[in-house]
Structure 1
Amino acid sequence: MTVFVLVPGMFTGAHVWRETASRLTAAGAEAHAVRPTGLDATLRRPGSGRLDLETHIADVVAVIDSVGAAAEEIVLVGHDYGIHPALGAADRRAGRVGRIVYLDAGMASNGVPAVAAVPDRVLRERLTAPRGDEPPGDALPPPATPEEWRRWGSVEGVPGPALDRLTALAAPQPTGTLLQPLRLTGAVESLPVTGVLCTGNGASVELIQMRVDQGDPTLKELVDPRVTFFELPTGHWPMLSRPAGLADVLLRAAAGEGHRLTPADATEPPPHLRPFLLDVPEAPWERHGTVDLHLPESEAPRPAVLFVHGGPVPAGARPTPRDWPTLRGYARCAAAGGAVAAVVDHRLHDLDGYERAAADVAAAVDFLRADPRVDADRVALWFFSGGGPMAADWLDAPPPWLRCLAATYPVLGPLPGWGLTGGRFHPPRAVANAGALPVVLTRVGREVPAIAATVEQFLAAAEDCGADVEVIDVPNGRHAFETVDPTDASRDAVRRAMRAVLGRLGLR
């Protein structure tokens, strides 16, 4: 018999697993929901702020030890924060655990505390570096409203009564559980692993594969054949929004099913390094620090386009984005159309890097406009993919010299769980101040659902305020369609977007 040990996440107890556990039991499995001390309503006690990660690891170990020896396999499921005590327990009882399931949970590592996975950067900093007389306190207060729950992950699909119950039963999270480092001996490294990704919370197999292809060293272990993945089309709490679907996925995971990532093929370039879909001759180009300039055949000052890559891109990735075929291809197209084309390598290496990257983009704009070959009063900015949130700065207060803002398969708002809780990197809010600034948006029909939702939110906000937005659709295109879908329709979309941008710069 397969036995599932279900470990809840932040602020929650065993009650969140009730429906999923009943479905697992009905399918012939055995299910035990862990009741974390200080979080579960049945195990709360005064002074819970003194609890730490080891306390919750002991809770999980106790459940594993209570399972009869006849169990064929124990599948340990950790949701969100719950993956940390789950891994700690698996390390101590590796001989009894057959598989670990990361349920919409970040990667956890030896010596790293759970606070590193807290999405809210400001809260992370307050917990890890309290200032003066502002200690972090014994516990984090639980979310009290649906909006507060969204700071921790998407609540997509959670019925109203279930969300009310989640709020009513939520408990303060002892800070010791977040600040104590996870200690592993290495015993868990041989165990099979399954990741269950909730696409409504911004995760997907496609996005992880893209980061693996880009050479992210933190994800190398995910191409191990013992690692499988499933997707669920829902938010961060699938045990409340899709309990039947979650139970089915857990049963399939226990059976060894699931999608496996493709390791890098030394004989075939990864998708982001495949040839650009248009054959454009190389223009004269120059490298200036982090900015490349691709120059048109003209000595007179020319309009300019700055291309801003997406991300996050690992700091050690080589080649860097300005040498990727797609960005070089767009730059050559712009130069062939008579513009000075610039491509900047910015520092969006992780989700905490948006402020750094935005500063890099602003510096690149200043550098570009100061070049005597550039008409400083006619500049366009063109954002791609995860660079999209940085467009908010320019939409919110467009300078008179900014003649067009373009975005291609962009992320147009913080994805759930990203922790960008402020308003700065939120284009749907900023577009209300865009005035007459033209926006050219290339939208792909086979977009990652969570990214597509940000695009639709942006378009709805743009319509409400009467913003000037031209949408160029690629109905069958995927994210990064220029190299993964080099069809005639894709080529036409690139040409149309380029004509639209250059036209707004006065180049016909």
Structure 2
Amino acid sequence: MSTFILVSGTFTGPHVWEETAARLTATGAAVHAVALTGLGGARPPAGTDVDLETHIADVLAVIDSVGRAEGEGRAGSEEIVLVGHDYGIHPAVGAADRRSDSIARIVHLDSGLPQNGVPALAAVADQGLREAAVDAAQGAGASLPPPPRDGWRHWGSTVGVPDAALDRLTALASPQPLGTLTQPLRLTGAAATVPMTGVLCTGGGASIAMVQARADLGEPVLRALADARVAFLELPTGHWPMLSAPTELAVTLLRAAAGEGRRLTPVDAARQPAHLRPFLLEVPEVPRERAGHVDLYVPPSAEGPLPAVVFVHGGPVPAEARPTPRDWPLLTGYARLAAGRGAVGVTLDHSLHSVDDYARAAGDLAAAVEQVRADPRVDADRIALWFFSGSGPLTADWLGKPPSWLRCLAANYPIMAALPAWGRIGRRFSPAEAVAQAGSLPLVLVRAGLEAAEIAATVAEFLAAADACGADIEVVDVPDGHHTFEAVDPTDASRDAVHRAMRSVLRHLRA
């Protein structure tokens, strides 16, 4: 049997665990929900600083009390499973680092991966919330007020949370002491020796497949998780599973305690990551011309000036990814396919390394397009932009104010709005709002029938908006295709979809 020590996230206290704790206790497990100072625990005197170290001490006190109970022969258990939800993973890992011999497993419940020297605030996805916290961090005892009822979704997906539970969450919420978010976490490395399980709540857009993909791309922190001591489990709900799915969460925590879950596959010569698999079509060997962050594939025998198709990779892509996206077979395959059909194919690298980088990536793309249009071999009045996956929000700039030379905009399996786990990325990057200004700009959208539900919802919202304003849009469906179907589903249906989409884009360029 296990003893579960549960550490809650921002603004919340032990009350959020009540239903899950009851279900765990019914199985014979011991459960302790930590009352963090100021968040369900004792309130400090006015003007007193409460910081991350305060909350680490709170968790240590519970760990030590469990150890004393076992040492005195009272009801105890054989192992401690330390569960941190949201912000709670930071004091949990900090405590585990100091009691690594006492902890059997750390469970990261829809949380980040705390790093030495990094404050918990860095893990908050929403840039606006981070900035608000920094602005409020003035003087001893400063705190961040809890969100209003409709503001919880900015701190994590509220999918599945009943109205009554959301009302109670709001009523019992406490101001978050800012020192808990801004004080850097100090780790010796001992916590890294403790087995861990990541529980991903898919309602927020997270998944094991996504973690594997980012590890494959070279993100150092995630690549290090390809270890036998690290497992992953999924819960099909939002960021608050103790409120939306308490029974399922209890079962998942018991599985985590037993060491169950999927392991990441290490990147090695025996396994080819999806983004490095060969393009699904035979394409001509058109040579690449590199200029800065832009590559051109120019038809060797054609006489110009020629139309151009700019292929915009998705993301976020870790800055450490090698090769960089413009050299991925999927992008070079599309560019050579376009060149084989008489258009200049263009790939580029842009700066979408995190969800905070959309503005930088938009600037990179705009500069690349002007560089392409200035090339004498390119017809500056016949350009198409073709977006993939996470670059979908970048389409908003071009939909909202389409220039006359933009003859077509295409998007493959796009993410057309911020996923819940991303926080807000700004109204500028809202294609569903921008499409009303697209006018007669032809749009081609390639839709994967087996898309993740959270991504498919953003596409459905965009298509509804496009239909409402009468946008000129063609949808190319791949019913049995997954996200990045060209790499993971190299079927005849996938090949046909690529041909159909390319024919449509080139037809609009030549119209």
- TM-score band by shorter chain is over 0.9
2:421 alignment partner in structure 1? 417
Residue type matched to 1:495 in 2?
A: H
**1:104-503 equivalent positions in 2, closer than 5 A:** 104-125=110-131, 127-128=133-134, 138-146=142-150, 148-296=151-299, 297-503=301-507
1:62 alignment partner in structure 2? 61
Coordinate RMSD, CA, aligned: 1.8
Output the CA distance in 2 between the equivalents of 1:463 and 1:166. Answer: 38
1:16 alignment partner in structure 2? 16
SS in 2 for 1:183: coil
Residue type matched to 2:194 in 1?
A: L
C-alpha displacement of 1:43: 2.8
Output the CA distance in 2 between the equivalents of 1:142 and 1:45. Answer: 18
C-alpha displacement of 1:316: 2.2
Q: Which sits farther off after the overlay, 117-126 or 346-355?
A: 117-126
Output the CA distance in 2 between the equivalents of 1:43 and 1:166. Answer: 19
Output the CA distance in 2 between the equivalents of 1:464 and 1:45. Answer: 54
C-alpha displacement of 1:494: 0.7
- Asked if the contact 2:355–2:425 (Cα under 8 Å) also holds between the matched residues in 1, the reply is no
Output the CA distance in 2 between the equivalents of 1:500 and 1:178. Answer: 50
Output the CA distance in 1 between the equivalents of 2:466 and 2:422. Answer: 23
SS in 2 for 1:417: helix
Q: 1:49 to 1:364 in 2, by over 3 A?
A: farther
C-alpha displacement of 1:464: 2.1
C-alpha displacement of 1:44: 3.2
Residue type matched to 1:62 in 2?
A: A
Output the CA distance in 1 between the equivalents of 2:12 and 2:422. Answer: 20
C-alpha displacement of 1:373: 1.5
2:92 equivalent among 83, 86, 97: 86
Output the CA distance in 1 between the equivalents of 2:199 and 2:130. Answer: 25
- Asked if the contact 1:49–1:175 (Cα under 8 Å) also holds between the matched residues in 2, the reply is no
Residue type matched to 2:126 in 1?
A: D
Output the CA distance in 2 between the equivalents of 1:267 and 1:240. Answer: 42
C-alpha displacement of 1:49: 6.5
Output the CA distance in 1 between the equivalents of 2:392 and 2:384. Answer: 14
C-alpha displacement of 1:417: 2.7
1:74 equivalent among 80, 89, 97: 80
SS in 2 for 1:95: helix
Give a deviation string over 1:165-220, Cα, whole Å, max 9, x none.
Answer: 11111111111001111111222111110000011111111111111111222212
Q: Which sits farther off after the overlay, 374-383 or 6-15?
A: 374-383
Say whether residues 1:44 and 2:43 are aligned partners: yes
Output the CA distance in 1 between the equivalents of 2:138 and 2:12. Answer: 26
SS in 2 for 1:476: coil
- Asked if the contact 2:133–2:144 (Cα under 8 Å) also holds between the matched residues in 1, the reply is no
C-alpha displacement of 1:103: 0.5
C-alpha displacement of 1:285: 2.9
- Asked if the contact 1:159–1:241 (Cα under 8 Å) also holds between the matched residues in 2, the reply is yes
Give a deviation string over 1:344-376, Cα, whole Å, max 9, x none.
Answer: 111112222211111000001111111121121
Output the CA distance in 2 between the equivalents of 1:136 and 1:493. Answer: 60
C-alpha displacement of 1:427: 1.3
2:101 equivalent among 95, 98, 106: 95
Q: Which sits farther off after the overlay, 348-357 or 170-179?
A: 348-357
C-alpha displacement of 1:274: 0.9
Output the CA distance in 2 between the equivalents of 1:48 and 1:388. Answer: 46
Output the CA distance in 2 between the equivalents of 1:436 and 1:157. Answer: 39
- Asked if the contact 1:151–1:421 (Cα under 8 Å) also holds between the matched residues in 2, the reply is no
Residue type matched to 1:15 in 2?
A: H
C-alpha displacement of 1:307: 0.5
- Asked if the contact 1:49–1:138 (Cα under 8 Å) also holds between the matched residues in 2, the reply is no
Say whether residues 1:3 and 2:3 are aligned partners: yes
Aligned residues: 503
Residue type matched to 2:247 in 1?
A: A
Q: 1:464 to 1:135 in 2, by over 3 A?
A: farther
- Asked if the contact 2:286–2:297 (Cα under 8 Å) also holds between the matched residues in 1, the reply is yes
- Asked if the contact 1:385–1:409 (Cα under 8 Å) also holds between the matched residues in 2, the reply is yes
C-alpha displacement of 1:426: 1.6
Residue type matched to 2:107 in 1?
A: V
Output the CA distance in 1 between the equivalents of 2:367 and 2:127. Answer: 24
SS in 2 for 1:310: coil
Output the CA distance in 2 between the equivalents of 1:118 and 1:454. Answer: 22
TM-score computed with the length of structure 2 as normaliser: 0.95
C-alpha displacement of 1:127: 4.2
Output the CA distance in 2 between the equivalents of 1:199 and 1:410. Answer: 18
C-alpha displacement of 1:126: 5.2
SS in 2 for 1:446: coil
- Identity in percent: 66
Give a deviation string over 1:251-274, Cα, whole Å, max 9, x none.
Answer: 001001001111112133221111
Output the CA distance in 1 between the equivalents of 2:420 and 2:357. Answer: 17
SS in 2 for 1:156: coil
C-alpha displacement of 1:136: 11
In structure 1, stretches of 5+ residues that fail to align are: none
Q: 1:417 to 1:47 in 2, by over 3 A?
A: farther
Output the CA distance in 1 between the equivalents of 2:453 and 2:290. Answer: 37
Give a deviation string over 1:87-146, Cα, whole Å, max 9, x none.
Answer: 111112222210000000011011111011112224424545x59x98798111111122
In structure 2, stretches of 5+ residues that fail to align are: 71-75
Q: Which sits farther off after the overlay, 431-440 or 42-51?
A: 42-51
- Asked if the contact 1:38–1:48 (Cα under 8 Å) also holds between the matched residues in 2, the reply is no
